[in-house]
Amino acid sequence: MVEAQRPKRKSPYPLWFFLPAAIIYGVLFLVPTATSFWYSLTRWDLMTAEYIGLENFRQFFSEPFLVQGLINTLIYAVMTSGLKTIFGLLLAVLLTSNLIARGFLRTVVFFPVLVSTIGIGITFTVMMHPTRGIINVALEAIGIDGPGWLTDPALALFSVALVDLWKGVGLATLIFIAGLAAISPDYYEASRIDGATRMQQFRRITLPLVWPATVTVITLSLIGGLRSFDLIWAMTKGGPGFSSDVVASVIYKQYQAGFYGLSTAGNVILFGLIAVIMVPLTVMFNRREVEQ
With CB under 8 A as the rule, give the number of residues binding other proteins. Answer: 94
For the residues of 33-95, what is the DSSP string, one character each? HHHHHHHTTEEE-SS-EEE-TTHHHHHHHHSHHHHHHHHHHHHHHHHHHHHHHHHHHHHHHHH
Q: How far apart are CA 55 and CA 33, in angstroms?
A: 20
Q: How far apart are CA 39 and CA 281, in angstroms?
A: 29
Residue 115 touching other proteins (CB under 8 A): yes
Whichever of 39 and 242 has its CB closer to other proteins, that residue is: 39
Whichever of 30 and 54 has its CB closer to other proteins, that residue is: 30
Whether residue 173 contacts residue 180, with contact meaning beta carbons closer than 8 Å, is answered with: no
Show contacts with other proteins in window 118-137 (CB under 8 A): 118-120, 122-124, 126-127, 129, 132-134, 137
Whichever of 154 and 193 has its CB closer to other proteins, that residue is: 193
Q: What track of x and - describes contact with other proteins for positions 147 through 176 (by CB under 8 A)? A: -------------------x----x--xx-
Q: How far is the CB of 39 from other proteins (least distance, A)?
A: 5
Where would I find the H helices in 142-259? 156-181, 185-193, 198-201, 207-209, 211-227, 230-235, 247-256
Residue 185 touching other proteins (CB under 8 A): no
Residue 218 touching other proteins (CB under 8 A): no
Residue 264 touching other proteins (CB under 8 A): yes
Whichever of 48 and 64 has its CB closer to other proteins, that residue is: 48
Residue 267 touching other proteins (CB under 8 A): yes
Q: Count the helix, strand and coil residues of the chain and give each as a percent rounded to the nearest 5.
A: 70, 0, 25
Residue 25 touching other proteins (CB under 8 A): yes
